[in-house]
Amino acid sequence: MHEPYYDVVTIGGGPAGMAAALGAREAGADKVLILERDRELGGILQQCIHNGFGLRRFQAELTGPGYAHRYIEMVEKAGIDVWLDTTVLATAPGGAVSCVSPTGGPQTVRAGAVVYAMGCRERTRGAIRIPGSRPAGVFTAGAAQRMVNMEGYLPGHDVVIIGSGDIGLIMARRMTLEGARVRAVFEIMPYSNGLTRNIVQCLNDFSIPLYLSHSVVAVHGHDRVTGVTVAQVDSHFAPVPGTEFELPCDCVLLSVGLIPENELTRSAGIHMDSVTGGAVVDQFRQTSAQGFFAAGNVLHVHDLVDWVSREAETAGQSAARFAHGALGGTGGALAVSAGAGVRTVVPQRLVPPTGDEKSVRFYFRATQPLQPAILALHADDNVVWQRRLRVVKPSEMVVADIQVATLFQGAENLTFTISPATE
């Protein structure tokens, strides 16, 4: 069978896949291909009809489809090939990408370099083990969002939302605007998991209560959901006896976290970070497998699409350089670890700089809210860099650019910490 060759293939045509493809093209890749299983490009953005995308990337406040559209136009102009309705089944060392589509059948594409950009999926009810019955009317917030915004159907009229992730907050507003009653949002943590602006614009503006340190302990209903039992939880997240109360509803939406979608990455034997749920990468976004890169939510869950585009562009450029032999492999790397107060750090490894770049951009998630805080870099036992942060929240990404000269001073271990700062 004929196996077409591309310099760079991105798996996924959401914001990360498109930005990676464009980055690759910019860096001189001739033949670039995007493989997307949906019938259009844009990924999750297509169902996010609310505003708030692109403030950093385009200095404009766009809707999800609006942001996607700008990228789709750029992809078209750049002469990048796009195969829609195409699902990738496996990737193999050396850059073989096997995929399948109704019109093309099973095919293998040869790639000079591959960028994983499959995005993430939602955590489910089962994953958080909410007891009770299993009636209709329990949806993940993202699935419900797709039904409302793309297919035009409502998942219910009387809604309880579990988890304060951003999609749940956005859906609280959407469902209210659709004429549904949104009773409350219940968050098991003592702080919210969504962006502050979403709490204000999606809950406060509509007088929807947010209960922190509360959890749904049972779902009721035989055919359709009829209600939930809620309880306050203690510091170990165990329900506090006597605090239970019942709430009627016909719909439960879950917004309890996103998980990078790494079936392909894992089955390729790539080294994973158990905390981010994504691959371990270096500053070029190269994974432990030579020529395989990763960017966007498949690597670590981002809060803003602008960061995704930026990161994916780097990955795409690096992929093009790898395909042309201008970027080395994965050897000689320095480990970067998450120390006290830091839940995740990306990249997790640094390879020797190629000479072009002046700084490396790091993305962090904090373990707990702090106000104010110090983000510090420890090279072996010395603090070599630090920055004061006005507030940190686990729900919001911390981003820092650090000079190459600061990073490569001969230390064997680099560790980041986030600690409380005094006022």
Partner 1 sequence: MGGTEAWSVPPRADVVVIGGGIVGAAIARELSRYQLSVVVLEKAPDVAAGTSKANSGILHAGFDAEPGSWKARLNVRGSQIYAQIAEDLGIPRRVIGSLVVAQNADEMVTLEALRQRGISNGVVGLAIWDRDQVLAHEPHVSPEIAGALWAPSAAVVCPFLATAGFAENAVRNGVQIVTECPVTAVETEAGAVVAVMTPRGRIETRHVVNAAGVFSGHVSRMAGDDSFSITPRKGEYILFDKAVSHLANSVLFPTPDKISKGILVSPTVHGNIFIGPNASPVEDPEDQETTPEGLAAIVAGAQRIVPDLPVQAAITEFAGLRAVAGKDFVIGPSPMVKGLVHAAGIQSPGLTSAPAIAEVIVESLRDTGLVLRPRPEFNPTNPKRPKFIEQPVDVQAALIAENPLYGRVICRCETITEAEIVAAIRAPGGARTLDGVKRRVRPGCGRCQGGFCGPRVTAILARELGIAVTEVRKDSAGSRLFFPRSQGAVGENEHA
Selected from 30, 40, 50, 69, the binder of partner 1 by CB under 8 A is 50
Beta carbon of residue 21, minimum distance to partner 1 (angstroms, whole number): 21
Q: Which DSSP helix (H) or strand (E) runs through 25?
A: helix 15-26
Nearer to partner 1, 294 or 373 (CB): 294
- Amino acid at site 301: V
Interface with partner 1, residue 42, by CB under 8 A? no
Token pair for 288:
């432990």
Token pair for 77:
């102009």
Residue with tokens 């700008």: 70
Nearer to partner 1, 122 or 166 (CB): 122
Nearer to partner 1, 69 or 220 (CB): 220
Site string for partner 1, 127-146 (x = CB under 8 A): x-x-xxxxxxx-xx-xx--x
Site string for partner 1, 101-120 (x = CB under 8 A): xxxxxx--------------
Selected from 224, 337, 340, 403, the binder of partner 1 by CB under 8 A is 224
Interface with partner 1, residue 222, by CB under 8 A? yes
Of the candidates 253, 252, 230, 225, the one whose C-alpha atom is nearest the C-alpha of residue 240 is 230
What does the alpha-carbon distance between residue 151 and residue 32 come to, in Å, rounded to a whole number?
31
Interface with partner 1, residue 126, by CB under 8 A? yes
Q: What is the dihedral of CA 401, 406, 409, 413, to 10 degrees?
A: -50
Q: Which residues, 6 or more positions from 72, have their beta carbon under 8 angstroms from its beta carbon?
A: 18, 41, 42
Piece of 109-117, 150-158, 388-396, 414-422 that binds partner 1 (CB under 8 A): 150-158
Residues 227-266 that bind partner 1 (CB under 8 A): 239, 261, 263, 266
Q: Which residues pair with 66 in a beta bridge?
A: none
**How many chain residues touch partner 1 (CB under 8 A)?**
59
For residue 372, whether the previous peptide bond is cis, meaning omega lies within 30 degrees of 0, is yes
Of the candidates 423, 332, 306, the one whose C-alpha atom is nearest the C-alpha of residue 371 is 423
**Strands (DSSP E) along 302-358, which ranges?**
334-338, 342-346, 349-350
Residue with tokens 């915004």: 149
Nearer to partner 1, 148 or 295 (CB): 148
CB atoms within 10 A of CB 136: 14
Site string for partner 1, 21-40 (x = CB under 8 A): ----------------x---
Selected from 55, 96, 154, 404, the binder of partner 1 by CB under 8 A is 154
Residues 258-317 that bind partner 1 (CB under 8 A): 261, 263, 266
Which pairing describes strands 342-346 and 359-366: parallel, antiparallel, or unpaired? antiparallel
Interface with partner 1, residue 325, by CB under 8 A? no
Q: Give me the residues that bind partner 1 (CB under 8 A), please.
A: 37, 49-51, 63, 85, 87, 89, 98, 100-106, 121-122, 124-127, 129, 131-137, 139-140, 142-143, 146-148, 151-157, 173-174, 177-179, 217-218, 220, 222-224, 239, 261, 263, 266
